[in-house]
Amino acid sequence: MMDKFFEGLISSIISLGSLFFPFIQGVEPDFADLQLAVQRTQLYLNTRIVNCYSEDLDKVLMSGQEIRLHFRLEARTERGNKTVLSRTFFHSMKYNIIDQVFSVYLSERDVEQQYRDIGTVHDAFTRVEELAVLRAADLEAGRSYVLEISAYLDPVTFVGSQDKIDLMLFWNNQKPVLRSQPFTDSIFQF
């Protein structure tokens, strides 16, 4: 009974707030700290999205709705743009209003973690760590390659409403995109 009451209350608050969404002061997210690391014959990627949160977006994150952040990673030849790898994965976040706990699921690891502090959630939700990207055998000798990673937020439909809210409005409708410096198979040589 209380769950229904809370869902109704939250839906009402968000529905009223959604009238003001066209006036959102968006941010311009970007990727930072791209790091490529080699362990034996495997290339790993580490990065995170920065400048991607605002007060308004935090209110949506704390609404109790599942929020999904999608990532797309591509590896391709520097010239000719032949795709060697194309991979998508996502992070999802949901706030339990009653327990006041955030659950963050990382699909690339199939791991769910829980947090109480929104600052920690901000980092966990937007960080990509030790993502296995390529093996040495995937690359042709002497050829140059680049990695490109991008991200976007799914629209969300609040309980009791049929209207979708485009969360990309909070990011000024800009997908962050990051492209690595060119590299060759020599990256695997110690």
Using the predicted structure, report yes or no on whether residue 120 has a pLDDT greater than 70: yes
Residue 18 lies in a domain: no
Residue 101 lies in a domain: yes
Residue 71 lies in a domain: yes
Cα distance between residue 41 and residue 95, in whole Å: 39
Which residues span the domain enclosing 105?
26-188
Residue 2 lies in a domain: no
Cα distance between residue 52 and residue 43, in whole Å: 27
Cα distance between residue 142 and residue 156, in whole Å: 45
The tokens describing 20, both together, are 């003001």
Using the predicted structure, report yes or no on whether residue 12 has a pLDDT greater than 60: no
The CB-side HSE value for 32 (13 A sphere, CA atoms) comes to 9
Say how many domains are in the chain.
Answer: 1
Residue 124 lies in a domain: yes
What's the pLDDT tens digit per position in 21-78?
555 678 999 999 899 999 989 999 999 999 999 998 999 999 999 999 999 999 999 8
Residue 3 lies in a domain: no
Residue 99 lies in a domain: yes
Residue 5 lies in a domain: no
In this prediction the pTM is: 0.85
